[in-house]
Amino acid sequence: MVQAPSKLITLEEFLELPETEPASEYIDGQIVQKPMPKGKHSKLQVKLVGAINQVVEASQIAEAFTELRCTFAGRSIVPDIAVFTWDRIPVDAAGDIADTFDLAPDWVIEILSPDQNQTQVVKKIFHCLDQGCQLGWLVDPAERCVFIYPSRQHLIFLTEPNDVLVVPEFAQALQLTVGTLFGWLQRQKR
């Protein structure tokens, strides 16, 4: 939902505003509130972050974050999942992970919600790619498909259960199929 400000607002003014729930983003001078995640979105987000971090975090290759505000190139966005290579994760003076990430992720993953505008989400992925992001995913639970946007390459569209999802070079150990991804949505019988 786009919130029309009573006056034009700068990125700096936006960053001074209190956080909203769900998060608001600053895109092209407008404040856009993300939709509240629903069941499928939430389940896929949790499972994907766990699967990615299981492969890349312990070996200090990269780390995946959920709902992390990333402010760069005149925008402030909150991707569903933002993955940063280890050497690009900002740290504070104490050596802890910083609270502020003023850079594009290396891999951005968006999970489409039923009431979300796909074009707006794709624009967000393209913005990340234009700023150095290596790969973008748009996961569509309703259609059981994944759009993969490699940097400076053609779109890849995967729908078959045995299709292996394309990942960035730094995460090649992650072998995930479309069937496994959407299989996470199935309730297991006891």
- Give the DSSP per-residue string, 102-167: -S--SEEEEE--TTS-HHHHHHHHHHHHHTT--EEEEEETTTTEEEEEETTS--EEE-STTPBPP-
As beta bridge partners, residue 85 has: 62
Residue 105: CB atoms within 10 Å: 28
CA angle 179, 184, 187 (to 5 degrees): 120
Does pLDDT of 3 surpass 80?
Answer: no
Are the CB atoms for 137 and 108 separated by under 8 Å?
Answer: yes
User: pLDDT tens digits for 132-183?
Assistant: 999 999 999 999 999 999 998 999 999 999 999 999 999 999 999 999 999 9
Give the residue-averaged pLDDT of 107-121: 94
- Whole-prediction pTM value? 0.93
pLDDT score for 5: 45
As beta bridge partners, residue 2 has: 32
User: pLDDT tens digits for 44-86?
Assistant: 999 999 999 999 999 999 999 999 999 999 999 999 999 999 9
pLDDT score for 130: 97
Domain ranges of the chain: 35-183
Q: Please state the separation of Cα 60 from the chain's center in Å.
A: 20
pLDDT score for 188: 73
Under CATH, which number does the domain 35-183 receive? 3.90.1570.10
Does pLDDT of 1 surpass 60?
Answer: no
Determine what percent of the chain is predicted with pLDDT higher than 90. Answer: 90
